[in-house]
């Protein structure tokens, strides 16, 4: 790069910072999103720097992001991908690998999960030809009932995949014990729970594999993006290969001959010396994160601890305010032995206390946005019915149906201050008084 280019770059980055500082506006007090990205000029500077560098695909920013996430979580391997849904798919797909022998998930095997959740926690199970088995959940924590999970286990069960609902850790102690006793894989969908702790350790570090989403609603963002993490060398190797077209070669993007014998391999029925770059040992895709996304993520990682602190403070403040309405609602409850980094503030309307649709229309009319607990009862969604999806229900899904009918959540994301939460309280009071 010549001096001119350096100078121009410096000017551009200065202008980017000036632009941000001039364009930035505070969140209005009477418009309360459930979630939104929180960023400053650093994300924009990284993004523009990465774009000027011209590499764009998976490269040095993706490696730096991976390193920061690894250090935060204290895990051995992080595999950045293009979304949280891809991360869930990659995790379940990795568990079908022939490299796992008898433990691998095959067509017709069962994977236990819950129906009160996000569709792409569940869809990868069907995608690999396995059968989802649904267990009921608790109200208050909104996580699976461990005893229902236990009852759902059969000789066909190969794995359990559960989300830490809205950031609230599920009963990792009991679920891990079940996995160990029955030789089951555990996948933690940590998409809504980055920074939540269980027994003093980050969620996402207990299972065989775990996933994050970096869609703007989440704890940190990379625009679109996600990650798979694991402590297992074998699972990380499989997942990386499936992420990268299924290739056997592990060269970084743009590198050749990392193994030192690029033309010396003899695999499958290919001729001896077939270029390792084009040898495929898994059924792969391309699910990589770009450097542009990762550059945003690098700046977000530096803010993560602050975001988590603010989410906890906002949750505690809103809890204290909305406790006044405990006759109307089941208030959220942290799982025993956990410190949630809450994604949202869930409430369930007590039987007959008020009409959810009318109440949510009131809140939305006041600028207080609301969300449902994702799919409610996923088995009642049109796609489950239209595609005649084969599933098994372990026991009744009584609480799942209550969630479908009576639960919703409001925001506590780090862009909100006390004045926003006071406004939320006011909108509740106006309707319920
Ligand atoms: C629990 C859970 N899992 C998976 C996802 C999917 O993540 P993405 O939107 O990045 O595909 C979401 C999305 O919000 C989610 O809440």
Residue where a domain stops, chosen among 264, 281, 298 = 281
121 lines ligand 1 (CB under 6 A): yes
Cα torsion 35, 36, 37, 40: sign: negative
Give every strand in the sheet of 345-349, ordered side by side: 329-330, 345-349, 407-410
Whether 431 has a pLDDT exceeding 70, the answer reads yes
- Contact 120 CB / ligand 1 (< 6 Å): yes
From the CA atom positions of the chain, what is the Rg in Å?
Answer: 23
Tell me the pLDDT band of 349, cut-offs 50, 70 and 90: very high
In 105-236, DSSP assigns E strands to 110-114, 131-135, 157-163, 185-189, 197-198, 201-202, 209-213, 226-230
59: left (phi over 0), alpha (psi -120 to 50) or beta: beta
CA 130 to CA 84: how far, in whole Å?
20
User: Does the beta carbon of 377 sit less than 6 angstroms from any atom of ligand 1?
Assistant: no
Residue 173 has pLDDT above 70, yes or no: yes
- Same domain for 31 and 118, yes or no, is yes
Per-residue model confidence (pLDDT) at position 1:
60
d(Cα 104, Cα 159) in Å, to the nearest integer?
A: 9
Structure tokens given for 211 = 């996933």
Q: What is the pLDDT of residue 213?
A: 98
User: Using CA of residue 378, residue 176, residue 127, residue 35, what is the dihedral sign?
Assistant: positive
pLDDT value at position 377?
98
The reply to whether 251 and 240 lie within a common domain is no
pLDDT band at 389 (very low <50, low <70, confident <90, very high): very high
Q: Is the pLDDT of residue 376 over 70?
A: yes
My answer on whether 271 and 395 are in the same domain is no
User: What count of other Cβ atoms lies within 10 Å of the Cβ of residue 16?
Assistant: 18
Asked if the structure places residue 81 within a domain, the reply is yes
- Is residue 19 domain-resident? no
Tell me how far the alpha carbon of residue 374 lies from the centroid of ligand 1, in angstroms: 10
Site to probe by mutation for ligand 1, drawn from 84, 194, 226 as the one with most ligand atoms within 8 Å of Cβ, is 84
Percent of the chain at pLDDT > 90 equals: 98
Residue 21 lies in a domain: no
Which of 34, 89, 118, 188 best tests ligand 1's pocket when mutated (most atoms within 8 Å of CB)? 118
269 and 184 in a common domain? no
Judgement on whether residues 142 and 258 belong to the same structural domain of the protein: no
Could you tell me the CATH number of the domain that includes residue 133? 3.40.640.10
- pTM of the prediction? 0.98
Summarize the confidence of residues 280-305 as an average pLDDT. 98
Q: Say if residue 176 is in the same domain as residue 219.
A: yes
How many angstroms does the Cα of residue 85 sit away from the middle of ligand 1? 6
Q: Of 185, 149, 150, 190, which is closest to residue 169 (Cα–Cα)?
A: 190
| Tally of structural domains, the chain | 2
User: Is there a domain that residue 2 lies in?
Assistant: no
- Verify whether ligand 1 is closer than 6 Å to residue 191 (CB atom): yes
Q: Residue 209: what pLDDT?
A: 99
pLDDT for position 363: 98
Same domain, 87 and 228: yes
Residue to substitute in 85, 217, 219, 373 for testing ligand 1 pocket (most ligand atoms within 8 angstroms of CB): 85
- pLDDT tens across 6-34, in order? 999 999 999 999 999 999 999 999 999 99
Indicate whether 2 pLDDT > 80.
Answer: no
- Digit-coded pLDDT (tens) for 53-109: 999 999 999 999 999 999 999 999 999 999 999 999 999 999 999 999 999 999 999
Could you say which of 281, 302, 333 is where a domain stops? 281
Task: Give the closest residue to 275 by CA, choosing from 294, 256, 291, 296.
Answer: 256
Q: Each residue of 159-182: b (16+ CB within 10 Å) or e? A: bbbbbbbbbbbbbbeebbebbeee
- Which one-letter DSSP state was computed for residue 71? H
Report the pLDDT value the prediction gives residue 420, as an integer from 0 to 100: 98
Paired with 78 in beta bridges are 229
Please check the confidence at residue 3 and state whether its pLDDT lies above 80: no
**CB 431, CB 362: distance < 8 Å:** yes
Q: Let me know whether 390 and 252 are in one domain.
A: no
Structure tokens at 179: 């996995």
Q: Is residue 400 lining ligand 1, measured as CB closer than 6 Å?
A: no
Q: Is residue 141 part of a domain?
A: yes
Q: Is residue 1 part of a domain?
A: no
Q: How far is it, in rounded angstroms, from Cα 121 to Cα 213?
A: 11
Tally Cβ neighbours within 10 Å of residue 380: 14
- By residue range, what is the domain housing residue 275? 247-281
In a domain, 12, yes or no: no
- Ligand 1, closest atom to CA 214? 10
Inter-residue contact 295 to 80 (CB < 8 Å): no
Asked whether residue 9 is assigned to any structural domain, the reply reads no
What pLDDT, on a 0 to 100 scale, did the predictor assign at position 194?
A: 98
Q: Do 91 and 133 fall into the same domain?
A: yes
Residues 155 and 184 in one domain: yes
Q: Which residues are catalytic?
A: 218
Of the three residues 281, 296, 326, the one that is the final residue of a domain is 281
Does residue 290 share a domain with residue 407?
Answer: yes
| DSSP annotation string for 303-356 | THHHHHHHHHHHHHHHHHHHGGGTTTEEPP-PPTTEE---SSEEEEE-TTSS-H
The answer to whether residues 253 and 211 belong to one domain is no
What percent of the chain shows pLDDT beyond 70? 100
Edge to edge, what strands does the sheet with 201-202 contain?
201-202, 197-198, 338-339
> Which of 160, 95, 103, 154 has its CA nearest to residue 127?
95
Q: What is the rounded average pLDDT of the residues 164-172? A: 98
């Amino acid at each position: 790069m010549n001096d001119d280019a350096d100078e121009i770059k410096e000017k551009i980055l200065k202008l980017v910072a000036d632009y941000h500082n001039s364009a930035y506006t505070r969140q209005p007090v009477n418009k309360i999103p459930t979630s939104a990205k929180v960023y400053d000029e650093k994300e924009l500077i990284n993004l523009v720097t990465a774009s000027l560098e011209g590499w764009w695909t998976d490269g040095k920013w993706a490696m730096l992001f991976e390193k920061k996430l690894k250090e935060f979580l204290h895990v051995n391997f992080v595999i950045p991908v293009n979304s949280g849904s891809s991360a869930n798919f990659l995790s379940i797909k990795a568990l079908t690998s022939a490299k796992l022998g008898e433990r691998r998930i095959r067509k017709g095997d069962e994977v236990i999960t819950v129906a009160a959740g996000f569709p792409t926690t569940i869809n990868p199970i069907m995608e690999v030809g396995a059968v989802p088995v649904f267990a009921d959940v608790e109200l208050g924590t909104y996580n699976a009932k461990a005893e229902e999970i236990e009852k759902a286990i059969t000789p066909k069960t190969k794995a359990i995949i559960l989300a830490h609902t809205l950031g609230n850790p599920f009963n990792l102690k009991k679920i891990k014990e079940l996995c160990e006793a029955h030789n089951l894989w555990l996948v933690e969908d940590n998409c809504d729970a980055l920074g939540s702790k269980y027994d003093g350790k980050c969620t996402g570090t207990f299972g065989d594999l775990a996933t994050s989403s970096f869609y703007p609603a989440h704890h940190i963002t990379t625009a679109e993006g996600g990650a798979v993490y694991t402590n297992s060398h074998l699972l990380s190797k499989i997942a990386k290969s499936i992420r990268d077209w299924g290739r056997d070669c592990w060269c970084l993007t743009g590198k050749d001959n990392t193994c030192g014998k690029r033309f010396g391999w003899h695999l499958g029925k290919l001729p001896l010396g077939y270029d390792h770059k084009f040898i495929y040992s898994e059924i792969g895709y391309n699910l990589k994160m770009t450097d542009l996304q990762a550059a945003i993520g690098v700046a977000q990682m530096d803010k993560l601890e602050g975001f988590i602190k603010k989410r906890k403070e906002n949750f505690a403040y809103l809890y204290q305010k909305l406790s006044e309405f405990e006759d109307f609602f089941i208030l959220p409850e942290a799982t025993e032995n956990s410190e949630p980094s809450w994604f949202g503030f869930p409430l369930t309307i007590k039987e007959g206390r008020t009409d959810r649709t009318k109440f949510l229309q009131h809140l939305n009319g006041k600028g207080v946005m609301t969300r449902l607990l994702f799919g409610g009862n996923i088995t009642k969604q049109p796609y489950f019915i239209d595609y005649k999806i084969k599933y098994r229900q372990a026991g009744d899904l009584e609480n799942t149906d209550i969630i479908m009918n009576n639960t919703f959540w409001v925001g506590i994301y780090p862009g909100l201050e006390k004045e926003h939460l006071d406004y939320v309280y006011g909108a509740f009071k106006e309707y319920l008084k």
